Amino acid sequence: MLRRRALAACTATVAVGALALAGLTGSASADPSPSLSPAAADQLSPGLLKAMQRDLGLTADQAAQRIGNESRAAAVAAGLRRSLGTGFAGARLSGDAAELTVATTDAADTGRISGAGARAVVVEHSLAELDSAKAALDRVALRKSPQDVPVWYVDVRTNRVVVQAARADAADTFLAAAGVARDLVTVTRSAGQPRTFADLRGGDAYYMNGSGRCSIGFPVKRGTQGGFVSAGHCGTPGVSTSGYNQQAQGSFQGSTFPGRDYSWVATNTGWTPRPLVNGYGNGDVTVTGSTEALEGSSVCRSGSTTGWHCGTVQQRNTSVTYQEGTVSGVTRTNVCAEPGDSGGSFISGSQAQGVTSGGSGNCSQGGTTYFQPLNPALQAYGLTLVTSGTPTDPPTDPTDPPTNPGGTWAAGTSYAAGDVVTYGSASYRCLQGHQAQPGWTPPNVPALWQAL
């Protein structure tokens, strides 16, 4: 594992390394207007907009417009995913206008997709079929990481599982062991060798046992206990942490790596979790939720080595093999990162996306970076993301939900601001986009739901 030592200068070049969200709910007839309201535009972080201008070649107005386009497109895509059912084959965005393309295996669905304002394409394989094939590869990799096969992911654009391999025979061996049909797969040549980058505001530095350095992902709470999520490879349960100021901070309570790459650290009362991501001189970004961005969406990263950098979401559900083992379910991006950025925040607009896991290249020459999506980490450890609407006394551990008294609310569903659900005999309006977790019932989470 490549760790960042305290106060050590970064090298000029960095080998591939680990640098260590669920779409908006909306109906297929969701409002296709792409503009942000003036009030919403005013709430965007100037630092985030500035980084998007630098890295994506946009003006401030274009960056704000793009975020609005992406948010609305995500709502439409979520509605179509529900209505298309088993025929759904993925959704993606292209360009600053966030033009939405939705794939289906059933030609009869094209009218419904077009009617929602999206471009329809008919493909051979459903997203569920591709995800199943990739899951088979993941199971093989968890038993023994494949040799010379660093990365694999589901690519909705090509309607294939893409396997990157140094040698064709290595890919063939991997596919055969998993029993995955070759017609589902595209094999590409890659000489990359990913390995981990490890050198209460997202993006801030913290130190493990006083030496190695990583970055905070997002502040969280578990009941009344404050803390943060970060990368799993940054530390194991019991490892103590100190903050950016070298003051005692807390300790790792849970950590998963390899397999996944997430962890959570409980902090002492001297540290107050804030719904912020460090803008590194450009203004902090306020976190309002954790709705997963579509492929093709803009995304920005905050880390304690290189600060703010932006790019786009390329593929979700990617698997990558580091020296320590295979990590599955990460998201592939073209955002750069370097040692010490590990664990840091990935955010799209005001929506938390995940924590920096790994990648290749550096911020002088560019590269590829993978992030561990946030929502699975929250669910794994029973955490609540700290957002601008988080109450002083958050709900108790969501891993122990009460009996559902009936209604339309359901755990695992992605909700957008304005959605209305029923729970028992009462109705509630969603206040901020999120993916519902067990126990986050409407009457129990006033930060997310308003009784009607």
What's the order of all strands across the beta sheet hosting 119-122?
A: 88-94, 99-104, 119-122
φ/ψ region of 7 (left if φ > 0, alpha if ψ in -120 to 50, else beta) reads: left
Quote the DSSP letter at residue 386.
Answer: -
Active-site annotation holds for 251: no
Two structure tokens written together for 215: 């970055």
Catalytic residue among 190, 230, 297, 342: 342
- Exposed, middle or buried: residue 249 (CB in 10 Å: 0-12, 13-18, 19+)? buried
d(CA 268, CA 271): 6
Query: Which residue type is seen at 363?
Result: C
Quick count: other Cβ atoms within 10 Å of Cβ 94?
14
- Tell me the C-alpha distance between 96 and 169, whole Å: 40
Q: Which of 148, 199, 261, 341 is catalytic?
A: 261
Which among 384, 447, 436 is positioned nearest to 414, based on CA atoms?
436
Q: Rounded to an integer, what distance in angstroms lies between the CA atom of residue 57 and that of residue 40? A: 22
Helices (H), 299-359: none
Reference 321, options 366, 256, 259; nearest CA is: 259
CB 174 within 8 A of CB 161: no
**Kind of pairing, strands 285-286 and 99-104?**
unpaired
132: left (phi over 0), alpha (psi -120 to 50) or beta: alpha
CA angle, 281 then 279 then 295, to 5°: 145
User: First-to-last CA distance in the chain?
Assistant: 52
105: tokens are: 């295996």
Peptide bond into 258 cis (omega under 30): yes
The pair of structure tokens assigned to 100 is 């939405």
Residue 148: both structure tokens together: 């010379």
Is there a contact between 392 and 406 (Cβ–Cβ < 8 Å)? no
Single out the catalytic residue among 233, 263, 290, 328. 233
How far apart CA 332 and CA 318 sit, in angstroms, is 7
CB atoms within 10 A of CB 33: 11
Is 342 catalytic? The answer is yes
Q: Which residues are catalytic?
A: 233, 261, 342
